[in-house]
Amino acid sequence: MIYDILKNKKSMLIILIGLLAVSIAFVSADGPVRLFILYLLFLLAMTFTK
């Protein structure tokens, strides 16, 4: 699954934009919201590694 994403440059761009948005949200967020964002990232990582 990861290899297909790496092959497709458009989806890579979407992922990079998503990561940038997440990092901006993370910096401007408070403690509980940061934990929630980390939890969402963890879930995403779990789905990608399966």
Q: How confident is the model at residue 6 (pLDDT cuts 50, 70, 90)?
A: low
**H helix intervals, the chain:** 2-7, 9-28, 31-49
Q: How confident is the model at residue 50 (pLDDT cuts 50, 70, 90)?
A: low
Residue-number span of the structural domain to which 9 is assigned? 2-49
Q: Looking at the predicted structure, is the pLDDT value of residue 32 above 80?
A: yes
46 by Cβ neighbours in 10 Å (0-12 / 13-18 / 19+) ranks as exposed
Q: Considering its fold, how many domains does the chain have in total?
A: 1
Question: With pLDDT > 90 as the criterion, what percentage of the chain qualifies?
Answer: 0
How far is 28 from 5, CA to CA, in rounded Å? 29
What is the token pair recorded at 2? 């990861």
Q: State pTM to two decimals.
A: 0.47
Q: Looking at the predicted structure, is the pLDDT value of residue 39 above 80?
A: yes
26, 34 contact by CB (below 8 A): yes
27, 37 contact by CB (below 8 A): no
